[in-house]
Amino acid sequence: MTAFANNMYDGDADQMMSGLDPADCITVLPDAKDPKVADADRRIRIMWGQYLLDDLLHDHYNSLVCAVNAHDNSHGIITQLAELLPTSQWHEDSITRHAKHFVQPHHVTVVKYDMDTVEVLALLRPSEHDHLTVDDLAEGFSIVSEMIERKPHRKPCATVSFIGAHANKLVNAQGGEPSFESVLRTMYEGGFTGDVYPATYMWESSAPVFARYPFPESIERMRSGGF
């Protein structure tokens, strides 16, 4: 058997890194059956450990999917992005006023914001809903996926995870926050296969994670008690 060096870093950094608290680390599991064979299925990439705003500002994406509301977007990523992009002419007040023109009582609306280097496709929750629901998310991503398909220049596209939001809180049928897997499933079933950025607090998850969705069949066997 061929021996491979397992040094990751120069100098003594490997030894020092091994002493880090495991609670501060993410364990990413491999999901490919054979890494030498290309996966024919399109999947969502999950960008663990990556900062969305940094990647947007460094031109990694042509479009972003996030949430917007018709009341207050002062703490949303859409306003942060508008303030950081040097050629964007949007600000919190104009973002909110623009959203008010499109809000519907019972259906989610996808509102477009041209920020020059990035086009934001923002999911605007119905006015009759106190929070964004999983059904709203499904409707929104069905529209978003069609918009991306019709205009390929919107690729590559990234999206927030919609988990951990406050003004645009996402809820399931029981009124609680859905699992990350439920969100990924909803996006994927809507036709989305771009990149998803988990909330940074999710990096502290004690459970091992996968870097792509759909997850491998092995997780279904685990759920049913198999190995």
pLDDT grade for 23, boundaries at 50, 70 and 90 = low
pLDDT in tens, 134-183: 999 999 999 999 999 999 999 999 999 999 998 899 999 999 999 999 99
Alpha-carbon distances, residue 216 vs 10, 28, 132, 198, 221 (angstroms): 34, 13, 29, 19, 10
Residue % of the chain over a pLDDT of 90: 74
Instruction: For residues 79-103, give the mean pLDDT.
Output: 97
- pLDDT attached to residue 227: 55
Instruction: For residues 14-32, give the mean pLDDT.
Output: 78
Instruction: For residues 198-203, give the mean pLDDT.
Output: 93
Edge-to-edge order in the sheet of strand 195-197: 109-114, 119-124, 63-68, 157-160, 195-197, 44-46, 212-213
Residue % of the chain over a pLDDT of 70: 95
- pLDDT attached to residue 16: 78
Position 1 pLDDT exceeds 50? no
What region, left, alpha or beta, does residue 40 occupy, with left being phi > 0 and alpha being psi -120 to 50 degrees? Answer: alpha
Mean pLDDT of the chain: 91
Instruction: For residues 45-55, give the mean pLDDT.
Output: 97
Which domains, ranges and CATH numbers included, belong to the chain?
Answer: 42-223 (3.40.220.10)
Position 13 pLDDT exceeds 90? no
- pLDDT attached to residue 112: 98
Q: Spell out the SS3 assignment of 16-84.
A: HHCCCCHHHCCCEECCCCCCCCCCCCCCEEECCCCCHHHHHHCCCCCEEEEEECCCCCCCCHHHHHHHH
Expressed in percent and rounded to 5, the helix, strand and coil fractions of the chain are: 30, 15, 50
Q: What is this structure's pTM?
A: 0.91
pLDDT grade for 25, boundaries at 50, 70 and 90 = confident
In what helix (H) or strand (E) does residue 145 lie, and over which residues does it extend? helix 134-150
